[in-house]
Amino acid sequence: VRRLPAKQVHDRAALDALLDAAFVVHVAVLDDDGRPYVVPLAAARDGDRLLVHGSTASRVCTYLSTGAPTCATATIVDGVVVARSQFESSLHYRSVMIFGSFEVLDGPAKQAALAKLAQCLLPGLSQARTPSARESAATAMLAMPIREWSLKVSAGPPDDVASDVDLPCWAGVVPLRHTFGEPIDAPDLASGIEVPAEIATWPSGRA
Amino acid sequence: VRRLPAKQVHDRAALDALLDAAFVVHVAVLDDDGRPYVVPLAAARDGDRLLVHGSTASRVCTYLSTGAPTCATATIVDGVVVARSQFESSLHYRSVMIFGSFEVLDGPAKQAALAKLAQCLLPGLSQARTPSARESAATAMLAMPIREWSLKVSAGPPDDVASDVDLPCWAGVVPLRHTFGEPIDAPDLASGIEVPAEIATWPSGRA
């Protein structure tokens, strides 16, 4: 199986679609010895910036709050490419690396970003109680401009070398589907409260 | 929406299940200026080690081949937790950070690892042509021991504070399902070649 072959894509709309579909980004942080770590963070796109949040007590937020250079990478696997050779077999995927540094948001900017993040993770749901002062204080809200980025997309049929095309094996793509299943009521849900209609319209393809 | 709340899990079987389900890991690399980047790589578990591969010409493989300390993180989002408060709303997810460094595989160990990787990404398929000497030379195969790791799992119903439970809004979990769709024949597939039965038994839940 080949290393992930992909095309560099310069289409900002494709980048936005990926970020809007991805629930998490993987962010790079360095420990005190300069060793790199990769930490998943729930993320949302707000126009031209990437929002992440975390506990103010967490190491990752402490690190990112310094404005240190980092990279946030979002990847969604869209399918498996079955070629006639192992070498040309690969994955359909989209991945973006966003380079830069995060800035800590405070005050009204923080509240607005928290609301935006909630809307991205729970689209259409507005009934949930907004954060209390204590909850807000426990949450670090960070934003990084979407300015320097590298988007790679692997799509299309297998690209077998001519001498392999006649091999007697199947070739094609097996799509990977990301869909929402039946909502599961909380055990302590009061009777008579139905699943909101908004959830039924959550777009598939999120991962 | 709260920062990803999760329990630390020390169950090696849960780690193995996550790695066996994840198609990619996100790996940390440093550039020449010591800035960290996060790169997605197709990955597979082979017993007690993590296998990744890439183009020998790629920066990420060049970096990892030096044996520099790194971290490979695999994350699968399993659902959305809808709580009565935005703060307690979150994601169901599993994520493992594996710490260590990669070792370059060569010779028969490399061939065996390439076969293992192909079996993990294309389970049951054995018809594809194995790599030629040139293809093998173009591929760097790297292994990292699964020795030092941190697995976090977020599962279960929303954990609302008592004073929120009576709020008149729905609470629960919306599962995210990762399933394979109908295979799509390659445009140049010869007539009479059917989709192999093995593909029909590919486990769902991979992402």
Which of B8, B26, B97, B178 best probes binding to A when mutated, by most A CB atoms within 10 angstroms? B26
Closest alpha carbon to A140 in A18, A206, A57: A57
Kindly tell me the burial class for residue B168, based on how many C-beta atoms sit within 10 Å of its own C-beta (0-12, 13-18, 19 or more): exposed
pLDDT in tens, A168-191: 999 999 999 999 999 999 999 999
Q: Which two tokens stand for residue A180?
A: 């929402």
DSSP strands (E only) in A83-127: 90-100, 103-104
Across the interface, whether the CB atoms of A26 and B29 are under 8 A apart is answered no
Report the predicted TM-score, pTM, of the whole model to 2 decimal places.
0.96
Is B171 within 8 Å of A182 when comparing Cβ atoms?
no
Cα separation, A196 vs B46, in Å, equals: 44
Query: Are the CB atoms for B71 and B28 separated by under 8 Å?
Result: yes
- DSSP track, B16-56: HHHHHH-SEEEEEEE-TTS-EEEEEEEEEEETTEEEEEEET
Backbone angles phi and psi of B109, in degrees to 5: -65, -35
Q: Give the pLDDT band (50/70/90) at residue B6.
A: confident
* Helix (H/G/I), strand (E/B), else coil: A76: strand
End-to-end C-alpha distance for chain A, whole angstroms: 23
Nearest by CB to residue B77, choosing from A23, A174, A184, is A23
Residues 6+ apart with CB under 8 A from B191: none
Say if residues A41 and A54 touch (Cβ distance below 8 Å): yes
Region of A134 please: left (phi>0), alpha (psi -120 to 50) or beta.
alpha
Question: Do the chains contact at A170 and B188, CB–CB below 8 Å?
Answer: no
Residues 6+ apart with CB under 8 A from A17: none
Phi, psi of A15 (to 5 degrees): -60, -50
Residue A191 CB contacts under 8 Å (≥ 6 apart), including other chains? none
Residue B60: CB partners within 8 Å, gap ≥ 6?
B27, B29, B39, B41, B54
Q: Which of B128, B147, B153, B67 is nearest to B103 (CA)?
A: B67
Q: Looking at chain A from residue 73 to 132, which residues have their Cβ under 8 Å from any Cβ of chain B?
A: 73, 75, 77, 79-80, 82-87, 89-91, 93, 95, 97, 99, 114-115, 117-118, 121-122, 125, 127-132
Per-residue confidence at B127, pLDDT binned at 50, 70, 90? Answer: confident
Q: Which residues of A touch B168 (CB under 8 A)?
A: 127, 190, 193
Q: Does B29 touch chain A (CB under 8 A)?
A: yes
CB-nearest partner of B42 from A26, A91, A129: A91
Per the CB < 8 A criterion, the answer to whether B94 and A64 are in contact is: no
How deeply is A135 buried, as exposed, middle or buried, from its count of CB atoms within 10 A (0-12, 13-18, 19+)?
A: middle
Model ipTM value: 0.95
Give, in order, the Cα–Cα distances in Å from A115 to each of A15, A53, A90, A112, A169.
22, 12, 38, 5, 51
Four-residue CA torsion sign, B99, B104, B106, B112:
positive
Q: Are B23 and A77 in contact (CB under 8 A)?
A: yes
Q: List CB contacts (< 8 A) between B27 and chain A.
A: 38
Question: Which residue among B86, B130, B187 places its CB closest to the CB of A131?
Answer: B86
Report CA-CA distances (Å) from B5 to A158, B74, B107. Answer: 40, 17, 44
* A121/B3 CB distance under 8 A: no
Per-residue pLDDT tens, chain A, 207 aa: give them.
Answer: 555 668 999 999 999 999 999 999 999 999 999 999 999 999 999 999 999 999 898 999 999 999 999 999 999 999 999 999 999 999 999 999 999 999 999 999 999 999 999 999 999 888 889 999 999 999 999 999 999 999 999 999 999 999 999 999 999 999 999 999 999 999 999 999 999 999 999 999 999
Tokens of A52: 């992440």
